[in-house]
Structure 1
């Protein structure tokens, strides 16, 4: 198996988990953290436990330039609210022979990277994951607990003709878990985290505000699950308006964790029984709202506007999030204006995201 030089952007749980997994497979790994939180890896090895059990020496890049110029494949593993700024830092230093993997992609961030690269004369290959291959929690700067390896991960590629090449690279790094999709719009709509996270956070808000310890699957009660399912129906309706289908939250969890319970509430109860966690957020600045509302629900609303279909549950949850935090999440997504979505059409966006209609 050929060794690949892989650069990972981000040193949170997913970034460290990916670094450990890829290093265990025999590839050279370097990490760049825009906030400098990977610096501890200069003096200590990366330690992973759980699904991945390894102690490995990994490189630590000091800048986007150093990471981009020393690697063949780059994996972006930062929260979606950091995608645009990270991509802007990487773009001047990327090469046409590189593959960038966005894991996981939200708000069509991979389309932003691909089109910006094209504007610079760079024929970049950009792969997108609809969810993360691994789930993990960082213990401290150099240690991570990897809790799950998913069995199915939706993925796409820009340009769409490079999908076979991108799939081969992704399988080389992560194994045979990918479900290739025709265009990246499917991949971004396949990311169901905002659909489950936002209702879960809002309806457990006092626990978050009091910084209580609460296992989140235990608090996905039947009534909370019913709201999640109503929100999920709007996501699937938007996907259908763009001529495609995505797995429901229930289907996603069933496939990810190999559960056969027929209802979402039953799946949540079984996950709590098996895992006892993960713990719910304890900080009111939780990404379950700060990331998943603007880059999940507000983006979904933008697509619904393009397709001219109503999404009342989506609107209500955005407004509730704004109300409880006293913010305006409608203004926080920096990708929607950068992609010009307010003046886009259904067919136009399908062409841009690699639909078969491109041919």
Structure 2
């Protein structure tokens, strides 16, 4: 018998995962915060999600609630499918409710495992996090999604020495093709901050105009300059990863170049991937492509670089420009080492903590 999974979140990915798993026989419950659940009135009434595109059919879920304890009670798996900016708030809501025999899945991780551990402490169960969502998808209407792509993810365990038997069920929930050494390797392998930052920075003016007129499509406006910025960000995060002993290949895995990754390979991928070209937006400079990928991606990458003495000038420049445009101190409000429970630790101490979950 398929197991019960509680999906925390109410956006594109959460709807798609709920429908997909329900159609595959899982017992699915969805949770959305009380401040946002009103937007899901159709789903609350019908408990049915209609799917078109590469995923077709109707997924019938068991429950939609704004009571997180009701959603997770007795669930085998708790899937957090929210922007990374919501991770700490979700972890705080789970504190005192989650059980050690449950498993938390985070899609995508985005430093989520370390944030959850910092909030939950000793009550934190095993966490499996991914480097990406398994779907390229958008809501197409109330309780309706349009899926343009589905692909395997890569996963990591926290702690890394946890029993890998849990991954057998995870493979059925979301097929994966790689197991990272630990969650920090996964965090440094996030795709979005190294793909979105270049075109969003280059096109800030066009994105601001989109708020007034027309429809902006990021991948259509993906220029040579955008690809060069993305390539530089990727090179810097690889250098940070190397200082921790990792050999990172996220954009190689994404772009599949014939030889060593070049900015031209990134440009070609963005203009030749049918799962990407239909995607519209961002429709505002406050879109998560900027306000999530910067403070929850570029900032912690840069902070880890400072810890191990690796310069990150391109990341730092993007952080500074976004801070100016948004009139917000993204470095000061983004994910820092303290929020990850890593403040004051050496590279060696961090590697040990990632493996055992103990300091």
TM-score of the superposition, structure 2-length normalised?
0.90
| Alpha-carbon offset, residue 275 of structure 1 | 5.4
Whether the aligned pair in 1 keeps the contact of 2:299 and 2:335 (CA below 8 Å) is: no
| Alpha-carbon offset, residue 277 of structure 1 | 2.6
**Is the counterpart of residue 69 in structure 1 residue 73 in structure 2?**
yes
In structure 2, what is the equivalent of residue 162 of structure 1? 162
| Alpha-carbon offset, residue 82 of structure 1 | 0.4
Corresponding residue SS for 2:286:
coil
Query: CA 1:275/1:157 → structure 2, altered by over 3 Å: closer, same or farther?
Result: closer
| Alpha-carbon offset, residue 331 of structure 1 | 2.1
**Separation (CA, whole Å) in 2 of partners of 1:187 and 1:9:** 21
**Is the counterpart of residue 180 in structure 1 residue 179 in structure 2?**
yes
Query: CA 1:158/1:250 → structure 2, altered by over 3 Å: closer, same or farther?
Result: closer
Runs of 4+ deviating beyond 4 Å: none
In structure 1, what is the equivalent of residue 50 of structure 2? 47
Corresponding residue SS for 2:30:
strand
Whether the aligned pair in 2 keeps the contact of 1:127 and 1:158 (CA below 8 Å) is: yes
Corresponding residue SS for 1:162:
coil
- For residue 104 of structure 2, the aligned residue among 97, 100, 103 is 100
Stretches of structure 1 lacking an aligned partner (at least 5 in a row): 256-260
- For residue 229 of structure 2, the aligned residue among 227, 230, 251 is 227
| Alpha-carbon offset, residue 336 of structure 1 | 3.8
**Separation (CA, whole Å) in 1 of partners of 2:273 and 2:172:** 30
| Alpha-carbon offset, residue 295 of structure 1 | 0.4
TM-score of the superposition, structure 1-length normalised?
0.90
Pairing of 1:1-359 with structure 2 (within 5 A): 2-34=1-33, 35-36=36-37, 37-44=39-46, 45-58=48-61, 59-106=63-110, 108-119=111-122, 122=123, 124-151=125-152, 153-162=153-162, 164-175=164-175, 177-211=176-210, 212-254=214-256, 263-271=265-273, 276-333=277-334, 336-354=337-355
**Separation (CA, whole Å) in 1 of partners of 2:129 and 2:341:** 20
Whether the aligned pair in 1 keeps the contact of 2:29 and 2:64 (CA below 8 Å) is: yes
Query: CA 1:340/1:5 → structure 2, altered by over 3 Å: closer, same or farther?
Result: closer
**Separation (CA, whole Å) in 1 of partners of 2:118 and 2:330:** 25
Corresponding residue SS for 2:129:
strand
Corresponding residue SS for 1:60:
strand
Whether the aligned pair in 1 keeps the contact of 2:11 and 2:82 (CA below 8 Å) is: yes
Between structures 1 and 2, the one with greater helix share: 1
**Separation (CA, whole Å) in 2 of partners of 1:174 and 1:342:** 33
| Alpha-carbon offset, residue 250 of structure 1 | 4.4
**Separation (CA, whole Å) in 1 of partners of 2:103 and 2:192:** 25
**Separation (CA, whole Å) in 2 of partners of 1:63 and 1:163:** 31
Stretches of structure 2 lacking an aligned partner (at least 5 in a row): 258-262
Corresponding residue SS for 2:355:
coil
In structure 2, what is the equivalent of residue 258 of structure 1? none
* Count of aligned pairs: 345
